[in-house]
Amino acid sequence: MQDNSLITAAGVPMPRIIYGTAWKKERTRELVVAAVTAGFRGIDTAGQPRHYAEALVGAALADVQRAGVPRESLFVQTKFTPADGQDPENIPYDPAAPLEEQIRQSVEASLGNLQTSYLDSLLLHSPFNSHVRTMQAWQTLEELYDSGRTRQLGISNCYNLDVLKSLYGDARVKPAVVQNRFYAQTGYDAPLRQWCAENGVIYQGFWTLTANPHILASETVRDLAIKHGRSEAQVFYRFLTQLGIVPLNGTTSLAHMREDLDIFSFALDMGDMGDILRLMGF
């Protein structure tokens, strides 16, 4: 079972690899049960029916708790998704309501869906197009934090470091997490990740395998997989965790779930890490 975790700046234990539930649709419940049974203790979802079946995540969490996995051992993370990221036919709040009320309605719906009285992590799914609007949303998230609805706050899809710095500077409750797509088009967020490391913000990466087939198929990673007796995916996931990144894992394969949780039983050396960094252009 996965027992590797870190402590965020908010004092919340967070697993070093998290199971992501996007696009799982009607299979969400069975896959989340399988992931937790395999040893995952971190689950990521969102109040965004277009891409996530949040209620099925909640049904799975109820299943595993009945099977003996206590809620306190799970890291449950969801997101408030602004209206422009929603299916207009299926929004979990009233889009005509003021933004503050949209957020409150969304989070209450998420708590109901997930069958829990609190969240371990609540993210703003993306910044708004103005700092004023982003802070308006953030202050409502801070109120939810104050009320005990969530143990920490964070932001997703924030690729502009100036936007992140402005949010961090004006936030009363600082973001503990940034969750971004990890891919070459943004230069792998190198300056942003460096700033996060310097300021105690955990960087979560999604699309880590999907967006990087060239790395997984490279001779460099293939040779490292042979050297360590592991799969290419295990090598890349281990590389990410050793960089301080918390990857989201969305596999639907039970065998891959077990393999990916086993990455903490080996380590890459400095030369291995340098080889992959050079492959990525660093």
The helix or strand, by DSSP H or E, that contains position 237, with its residue range, turns out to be helix 232-242
The string of pLDDT tens digits covering residues 114-127 is: 999 999 999 999 99
pLDDT score recorded for residue 2: 46
Other CB atoms within 10 A of residue 69 CB: 17
Rg, the chain, Cα only: 18
Tokens of 227: 């050297």
Q: What is the pTM of this model?
A: 0.97
Rounded average pLDDT over 14-37 = 98
Query: Do you know the residue count of the chain?
Result: 282
Handedness of CA 1, 11, 117, 91 (dihedral sign): negative
The string of pLDDT tens digits covering residues 54-95 is: 999 999 999 999 999 999 999 999 999 999 999 999 999 999
pLDDT score recorded for residue 175: 98
Q: Which domains does the chain have, with CATH numbers?
A: 5-209 (3.20.20.100)
